[in-house]
Chains A and B, each alone.
Chain A
């Protein structure tokens, strides 16, 4: 273990810098600085507004939110934790799990994870806010993610996203990233987001609904898709299992498969024409990899 003893702290030996000069003789920022041009605010300018009792309590009293909504997932949480050599590894699965209960990671969800893993709420918060799949506001029944990375964007992804923003918006105001059309959690409500590359570039432009793939989309097909979702229909994905809802798939992302991975679900379509093109071309033309020898021994190595 290394020690920082004997190291000089930065503040103690900070060189003097007068306004208008910077380190190293650079002229960048060499003009008047903020300090030089702005007068110190006087005490009289500062707000003297009294903090309300309610606000004061919220800011100063340590409260644990009501966690009763998670009572049913305590056992499952412990089962997930048991899959890992160290409990903290279960944090990402647990965040998916609390999201499956509430449709987002609430403050209560943070506290629940912290309690299960013996972490502080701050440690859990730091993780939850790092990953884009953890939503900090309640989501719709469905999450629609449109790839707008360069390649999909060129093929129409940008146009699809823009159209869905307008189409799902209200009063002429386009729906923003991670905003929800309809009351979150109610049937037919849709949260829209633009996504980074979804790793289906040969099938672009792509979008996902609850992480099931809808490939080779157009502006019209995407509009049709979200209209069907709003009517309560669940159009089949191009690749993936039958469409459910955002909360249900979050349970699977946590690693919980309630129906024990039913065949119908696992066997959902995946073999897109594009995926199989190379293999199909080879089959059609009679192309193969060179034949393997009948029997080949593992190499000899010196015994240690």
Chain B
């Protein structure tokens, strides 16, 4: 194993074309190595590509971190039924804002990745399910797909390889739950976006009950670079188990919020340095490593390596590397209440723990923030969380309790203070000699 040596703090790979004028146009893309990986991939076999992605250690960038090559290898080798590749571009996890800028700035990298991945998984129809509110992305993607068809990168007999592929850009209609892969498939089938029971997993019975792989935008956009650079090159960045560069989206109370592509394993301390430090010098209070569904971190966690293992070992999750930074002026119970209201709104209603749990959690937190908390509220919150976590149909329920349990874990006093009003009479009585 070679020690990654002398890797720069910012490593633009996915973001390297973004500074070019009209980076979203095919002409720009082709001048910057665009579609060279596709030619190389089509000269190889699907098995070689699956092996390459396995070797690279690329892990899903949508939050769960599942090894992409392993996921691809679950697709059956035969073509008894049509195979589908579905791109999850339904970005909506609070704090997460990497896929939308990527699709706006460099849609062809996603499309090239889609063609290579489809070839590797023997799919001839790929769907890009884009969040409906991301209208400008939808325009750019539709335009890029048209350019790709016109240039012979899509359609029948791509680059004389004998491989056929169609891509359909599909707009969602406003439902966070459709970021869950099986809910997304139901939505793409024209139904309410509600998650399905697994198994069967999508590779066995996904879209139209046919073998399907659902991958995140950033995951698939990484593939052309891996094809061109090889797995060893990809592994020069990041750590052994979490290789590669990653787009860190830094938002909130920092001087220079934005998109910073850095090797996995970069710490918040390093990211803050890139982002010009805390805004107006007001100290850090809490932050999310990867969206609101990942348990909160505090100033104690400045040096946690932000890769899949590092974040988990410190009690959270890497998620989508949506780093939301909050300073000392922000009340934790209030922030937790706002996030809980979000989960309550977005709970699809299919399973009882999540539907009812988020409803009651939001009401208790609203009462607490109003200063009308009761002494037992914290215990009640934790009890409800215990009944939602791991008992819900999909990960939305698990995500919903993350801010609450971690918020209480690190900032219990703040929650307690909101119950003081109600606790007072009892305390006065106890102290009345």
A interface residues with partner B (beta carbon < 8 Å): 83-86, 88-93, 95-96, 117, 126-127, 130-134, 145, 148-151, 153-155, 195-204, 208, 210-213, 239-241, 249, 252-255, 257, 261, 265-268, 270-271, 273-283, 285, 287-290, 292-293, 296, 298-301, 304
Contacts and interface: CB of A to CB of B under 8 A. Distances in A.
Interface string B113-139: 000000000000100000111111011
A92 B136 contact: no
B100 A199 contact: yes
9 contacts: A85-B125, A117-B190, A201-B95, A266-B143, A276-B19, A278-B260, A287-B11, A290-B11, A292-B229
B97 A279 contact: no
A200 B44 contact: no
Interface in B256-283: 256-262, 274-275
A46 B81 CA distance: 59
Given A93-B170, A150-B292, A288-B11, A255 B142 contact: yes
A142 to B, nearest CB: 14
A130 B82 CA distance: 29
B100 A200 contact: yes
Contacts of B40: 298
Nearest to B130: A253
B105 A132 contact: no
Contacts of A208: 133
Contacts of A86: 189, 208
Given A126-B192, A279-B10, A298-B227, 18 more contacts: A131-B173, A132-B173, A150-B335, A151-B252, A197-B92, A197-B93, A208-B133, A211-B132, A212-B136, A257-B139, A257-B142, A275-B104, A278-B258, A288-B8, A290-B11, A292-B225, A296-B228, A301-B47
B47 A304 contact: yes
B72 interface: no
B322 interface: yes
Nearest to B178: A131
Interface residues of B, number: 107
Contacts of A240: 135-136
Contact of A196 (B94, B104, B237, B248): B94
A196 B342 contact: yes
Contacts of A211: 132-135
A121 to B, nearest CB: 14
Interface string B268-305: 00000011000000000000000010000000000000
B85 to A, nearest CB: 13
Nearest to A239: B136
Given A199-B134, A200-B100, A253-B135, A296 B18 contact: no
Contacts of A85: 82, 125, 208
A202 B94 contact: no
Given A278-B15, A278-B258, A270 B97 contact: no
Nearest to B9: A287
B169 interface: yes
Contact of A149 (B15, B230, B260, B342): B342
A199 B92 contact: yes
Nearest to A280: B19
- Which of A132, A202, A210 lies at the interface centre, i.e. has the most chain B CB atoms within 10 A of its CB? A202
Interface in B1-50: 7-13, 15-16, 18-19, 22-24, 40-41, 44-45, 47-49
Specify the main secondary structure of chain B where it touches its partner.
mixed
Interface string B239-261: 00000010111111100111111
B170 to A, nearest CB: 7
B77 interface: yes
Interface of B: 7-13, 15-16, 18-19, 22-24, 40-41, 44-45, 47-49, 51-52, 55, 77, 82, 91-97, 99-101, 104-105, 125, 131-136, 138-140, 142-143, 146, 168-176, 187-193, 208, 225, 227-233, 236-237, 245, 247-253, 256-262, 274-275, 292, 322, 324, 326, 330, 335, 338-339, 342, 345-346, 348
A199 B15 contact: no
Closest 3 CB pairs between A and B? Answer: A277-B258, A91-B190, A278-B260
Contacts of B41: 298
A86 B209 CA distance: 12
B366 to A, nearest CB: 14
A155 B139 contact: no
B339 A202 contact: no
A126 B186 CA distance: 13
B230 A292 contact: yes
A228 B233 CA distance: 52
Given A271-B105, A278-B274, A290 B233 contact: yes
Nearest to B348: A130
Given A85-B125, A252-B138, A266-B140, A279 B261 contact: yes
A134 to B, nearest CB: 6
A304 B22 contact: no
A96 B190 contact: no
Nearest to A267: B22
Contacts of A296: 228-230, 232-233
A261 to B, nearest CB: 5
Contact of B229 (A153, A241, A293): A293
Most buried by B among A127, A154, A255, A289: A289
Contacts of A149: 94, 338-339, 342
A268 B105 CA distance: 11
Listed residue (A199, A203, A211) with the most chain B CB atoms within 10 angstroms of its CB:
A199
Contact of B274 (A150, A281, A290): A281
Nearest to B44: A298
B139 A261 contact: yes
Which of B99, B135, B233, B247 counts the most A-chain CB atoms under 10 A from its CB? B135
Contact of B143 (A83, A212, A261, A288): A261
A271 B19 CA distance: 8
Contacts of B275: 277
A282 B135 CA distance: 29
Given A196-B94, A275-B18, A276-B258, A270 B229 contact: no
Contact of B245 (A199, A255, A289, A300): A289
Contacts of B257: 201-204, 274, 277
Contacts of B77: 304
